[in-house]
Amino acid sequence: MRKAFTLIELLVVIAIIGVLIALLTPAVQSARAAARRTHCINNLKQLGLAAASYLGAHTVYPMSAVAGAGHGVNQSCFALLLPELEQRQMYNSYNFLVENYALVNSTVVGTKLSTLLCQQNPLATDLNPSELVVKSDGTNYPAGSAFARSHYAANWGGSRTILGKDFDQAKSSYRGVMVTVRVMTLRGPTTCLRAQDVRDGMSNTILFGEKRDSQGWNVGGYAGSEFDVAPSPLSADSPSNRMIVTGSYHPGQVNFAFCDGSVKPIRDTIDRLTWYALITRDGHEIIKNDSY
């Protein structure tokens, strides 16, 4: 007759299994986090390649938004990059002659794009109603449509908040690569930028960065397709700034796509002057390879 397990033997087996689970769980979690980080890096890589393809076809980078009233403003750089992101059908279905919140565009702007969502980000990816979209002047969009979120944004090279006050005072604004056009600045009216306008070098200038949230991937400009500069690439998380400045849920770092197509993580401990230098396209700063 086969001998059964004693109670002590059963408890020992259960204890051993518990220890093994405790040992394996962190390893599994770490592997999953690494996979999600890789997915996020690949998304940024795809965005960088899309921008490079657009640059090759049009000789300029796409605008991050259009300023002014009427004539189909408020579109984002991501809408312009849809063909390069293998979304030609969505691009053809979109009406660029009307506003992004127009009912005719509601299907496109409400479509979630996996390339624009980071798997590491735990925030809900529900649609953002158009009446909750806030523009830089404090006014809201009309009701009637809703926008799919994004966890990435373009470097326009400036700040509209108190967080970036010292950058704005030292560098002025519109020093990035994809900017809102038709804006009058101290340096003249903004236009779409060419490769030769990136005078600091393609490998030293940020093109896209991670954000924890946004008002929508086709909300052009403020809190949508652009990110504002803050003193650190990884500012403290709060509902008031997660749509505006860069940030991520990767421990201690944020991933960025550069103009040369590379994707690099930047630590939250980066020297502030180096961080600001990576934002500007023509600041003439000297950046060492090991400075970030």
- Please give the structure tokens belonging to residue 262: 């590379």
Mean per-residue pLDDT of the chain: 88
pLDDT of the residue at 5: 58
- Lowest model confidence (mean pLDDT) among 53-67, 92-106, 139-153, 180-194: 180-194
Give the mean pLDDT of 270-275. Answer: 94
SS3 of the chain: helix, strand, coil, percent, to 5:
35, 15, 50
Tell me the per-residue pLDDT of 94-136, one tens digit each, with 9 for 90 and over: 999 889 999 999 999 999 999 999 988 988 789 999 999 998 8
Buried b (16+ CB within 10 A) or exposed e, 138-160: eeebeeebbbbbbbbbbbbbbbb
Tell me the per-residue pLDDT of 207-237, one tens digit each, with 9 for 90 and over: 999 999 999 999 998 899 999 999 999 988 9
Q: Is 88 exposed, middle or buried (0-12, 13-18, 19+ CB in 10 A)?
A: exposed
